[in-house]
Structure formats: C-alpha cells, structure tokens
Amino acid sequence: MSFPVLVLVVSFVILLLLNVPVAFCMGISTVLAFLAMGDLPSFVAVAHKIATGIDSFALLAIPFFILSGLLMGHGGIARRLIDFANVLVGRFRGGLSFVNVLTCMLFGAISGSATAAVSAVGGFMIPLMNKMGYDRDFNASVTITAATTGLLIPPSNVMIVYSLATGGFVSIAAMFMAGFLPGFLMGLALMVVSGVISVIHNYGKGETFAIKEGFIRFISAIPPLLLVVIVIGGILAGWFTPTEASAVAVLYAFILAVVVYREVKIKDIPRILLQCGVTTSVVFLLIGTSMAMSWVLASENVPQNISAALMSTTSNKVFLLLIINAILLVVGTFMDMTPAVLIFTPIFLPIVEQLGIHPLHFGIIIIMNLCIGLCTPPVGTALFLGCGIAETSVTKVMKHILPFFAAMVVTLLLCTFLPQISMWLPDKLGFVK
C-alpha cells in the first residue's frame, strides 16, 4: 500500500469513528491524500475533482426524482396505495403485514427512496398494525426491510449513481429493467417470512371487501401507479431519456398532488422545494467527494492491486463472489449507499468482469447488498427511522428483524448465482449486447 493510500484509509477510518459525516470524511481524507502525493495544490485539485464529479447531465434526474417523490409523499399517495394493497392481500392471515410489504414496494418504486417509504408507509401502517394486535417490533421490522425494495424496483436514484460509477457503460434504462425481478423477488421473500410469523403468533384474521369497495380502491390507486408506467414506458418507447423522464415525473406528481387530490397546497411548495434542495445537496456532496476519492484510488492503482490480490487468492468464481458479497455487506453497515456504490464499483467491477459477470448483474448485486446495510446498525438509516416511527428501540427490533435479514440474504444469493433473474428482462428488451 502506497503512502497516499495509507493516509487516505487511516484518516477516513479515524474521521468515521469520530462520527464525522461521511461526505466530510471522504473530502478531508482525499485532501490529506493529495498532500501526501505532493503533485498538485491539494485544495484546488480536490475542488476540481468534486466539480467534475457532479458535472453530468444524467445526474439531473436525481433532484427531479427526489422532488417527485416528495410531492407524492405529501400528496396522500401512500394512503391510496395502502387501500389498494389491502384489497389485494389484506384478506389473508397476517394480511396487514402483506399490505405493508406491498405498499412499500409500490411507494418505494414511486418515490425511489427507502427512507421516504419508511416515513410515508410506516407512519400509517405501524400504528394501524399496533392497533390490530400485531407486535410493535414485528411491525417495525416489516416496514424497515420492505422499504428497501423500492431501491431495486425502478425508478431508483441509486441505479443512476451506479450508471455514473461505471462511466456510463451501463445505461440507466438497462439498470431500471434489471431491477424489476430482483425487487419483486425480495418483496415476495419478505411476505413469506411475514406470513409464517403471522401464522405462528396468530396475527391478523384478514379483511374482506365488497366488489364495489375493491373496485373503488383500485380506481383511486391507478393515478399514482401510472407514474411508474409513464416513466418506464416513456423510456422504453424512446419518448424521453431517463433525465427527461424525471422532469415528466415531477410535472405528473405536481398535477396529481396539487390539482387532482389537492392535498398539497401552493403555500406548501416552497417548503417542499427547500426539502428537495437540502436532500439533493447532501447527495451531490457525497457524489462529488466520492468521485474525488475514487480518483486518488485509481491513480494509485488500488482497484488493480485489489483485483490481483483476490484473483491470486483463488480462481473459484463462487468463492470470489461470496467474498465480494461479504465485503459489501460489511461496507453497507457503516457507509451510505451513494458513496459505497461510487467507491467500490470501480474496485470490484474489473474483478467480476474477469469472472464473466455482466456489469448489469453486478449492479443489482451491489445494490442488494447495500439495501441490507440500510437495515443494520450502526449507520442503517431505514432501521433508525423505522424504530423512531414505531417508538421502540433498535435492540428490541433486532431480535425480530433477523428472519427478514435471512430472507434478504437468501434472495441476494439467488440473484448472485442465478444471473437470469437480473438479466432476463434487459435481455428480452434488447439492452444486453
């Protein structure tokens, strides 16, 4: 390990242990690494790398999707999706847990954010499930894990970030298509665990609806669900690019929340725009500092050295994939998804390509690993947010969330070693060459 890389790694770990925000950890450690390299004026060089790192047209999709998700979240969309999901799966034993998972899948896909899904869906479903006799910690566990499915089911901001990390080699549209089946499979696995636990503990007797009531709820859910159809359908039909699709999503969400449902008032728009600006600035600072750090790692040949070290350890494809998964699972416990994707994609992508793994397939693997990290301490944002909404402690929830972790890991392994799950849809649509 060269001296600049040693400085980078040691300073980053120390700052992280001191609870410094991740973006500042990366920025400060990168400046120190540049000082150790001694080739360029460090502050100017890092500022330049941060600026060029976020100078991408594709990244404009992120603030637009964030804004459309916020409009949907404030516009009563979650409640309508819950009513619709209740008609579909609420009649079964433990039906409210199924409703929770399905709504998180639908809302997460619309908002593209796990934390938004935890807030919007959990804020309604967790108190309702508490009232109906479900265990509070079980309810939190269902919501926390199910919220991550929206990061796999498109549109998803982290997929845009992954496309950037590959240098645009993997298209955003292809990533969107690759995420559908893994996302649905993850949701199905969580439903199976919820159902088994509900039967064991006798949770929920289910609820039936008259045909008329079910039809009304279905009709009310069509407008929000059309957002996904418009975005994905428009991209596949060639009507607009993913970035243009994000702008269309904002327009549609605005019309739905402000004009049709009227649950977002004009006076609320500045507050929502401010919230969008703050969230976007955090994401872009993470992206910029991640790109600067990635440049240092690349200039010091770290990806090549790690690749050579792993390949010299073993040539067994299965063992190498298990090692990469284990590393990513550990990384996900203490690092946010955006910097983790930007830092570790350039490191591991050359390795998996040598193993014959398609970059699309690897994108799903890395995102699934980091989704699990959102539900684990010490940094898991979905975990802490869900515990706060449920008014319980992380310690109590961890005892109940383990079966859901097991389901997520099994799904991860299935998607890792059965690439057809990720690749089938992109292949059928002509994205795989």
Which carries the bigger pLDDT value, residue 334 or residue 18?
18
pLDDT at residue 210 is higher than 70: no
pLDDT at residue 111 is higher than 80: no
Q: What pLDDT is attached to residue 403?
A: 94
Q: What pLDDT is attached to residue 39?
A: 60
Compute the average pLDDT of residues 377-386. 82
pLDDT at residue 92 is higher than 80: no
Compute the average pLDDT of residues 323-336. 88
Per residue in 178-203, pLDDT (tens digit) is 999 999 999 999 999 999 998 898 88
Distance CA 187, CA 189 (A): 5
Task: Say what the pTM is.
Answer: 0.85
Q: What is the mean pLDDT of the chain?
A: 86
Compute the average pLDDT of residues 286-295. 85
The dihedral sign for the CA sequence 10, 12, 18, 24: positive
pLDDT at residue 390 is higher than 80: yes
Q: Mapping DSSP to helix (H, G, I), strand (E, B) and coil, where does residue 168 land? A: coil
Per residue in 132-153, pLDDT (tens digit) is 888 999 999 999 999 999 889 8
Tokens 């549609």: give the residue.
252
pLDDT over 90 percentage in the chain? 25
Q: Which two tokens stand for residue 208?
A: 């039936």
pLDDT at residue 338 is higher than 90: no
pLDDT at residue 349 is higher than 80: yes
Compute the average pLDDT of residues 209-233. 80
pLDDT at residue 40 is higher than 70: no
Closest CA to 42 of 54, 55, 33, 51: 33
pLDDT at residue 418 is higher than 90: yes
Compute the average pLDDT of residues 106-117. 76
Compute the average pLDDT of residues 105-117. 77
DSSP secondary structure, 328-378, as one string: HHHHHHHS-HHHHHHHHHHHHHHHHHHTT--HHHHHHHHHHHHHHHTTSTT
Range in 229-238, 259-268, 414-423 the model is least confident about: 229-238
Q: What pLDDT is attached to residue 209?
A: 62
pLDDT at residue 371 is higher than 70: yes
Other CB atoms within 10 Å distance of the CB of residue 246: 26
Compute the average pLDDT of residues 2-10. 87
